[in-house]
Amino acid sequence: MKLKIVQAGDPVLRKQSRALTKKEISSASIQYLIELMRNTMREAPGVGLAAPQIGQSIQLAVIEDRTEYIADHSADALAKYQRSSVPFHVIINPKLSVVGDSSVQFFEGCLSVEGFQAVVNRALRVRVDCLNERGEEVKIKAQGWYARILQHEIDHLHGTLYIDRMNSRTLSTSENMFRFWKNQSIEQVLAELE
């Protein structure tokens, strides 16, 4: 079963989500929701899905950057964006901390802003303290693309979309992003559009 992904303009995407209790996390309804969210994310396909994106204002997100998603990328591109596969996992009630002051700009899209992408500046390294699907405390240290995914999904839990952080001059349909900018560096894209 696939859940409906809500689109920008739905008020649930702009609300602060509520934290889950450990009792709620272990409930059959939340465990089933996690399974449905995983299926929905994979079918979309996406690398993350936050509960507000399926109409639930709770602090829960699923993340997975599958090997097949990066198979067509060159080794240089993967190294440049510090991207590698990330196994499926769940983050609940996350607290994000930026590590260091390095950041990186890259095109970002969202399943709830379907058909568009824009350049977003994100911290290069983060730490996330959260609970997993069993209610256990987890500490995640991430950098590069994985750090970007975490920041994007945690933003959803606080009512923030990537369009709130984007360089507005770079907003593009996904089709035009691939048509005009796929083989350009972010520096070249910004120079062309500024």
Q: Which residues are catalytic?
A: 153
CB 162 within 8 A of CB 127: no
CB 58 within 8 A of CB 37: no
CB 164 within 8 A of CB 170: no
For residue 110, give the nearest of 68, 67, 61, 144 by alpha carbon. Answer: 61
Cβ partners under 8 Å of residue 73, min gap 6? 83
The one-letter code for the residue type at 77 is A
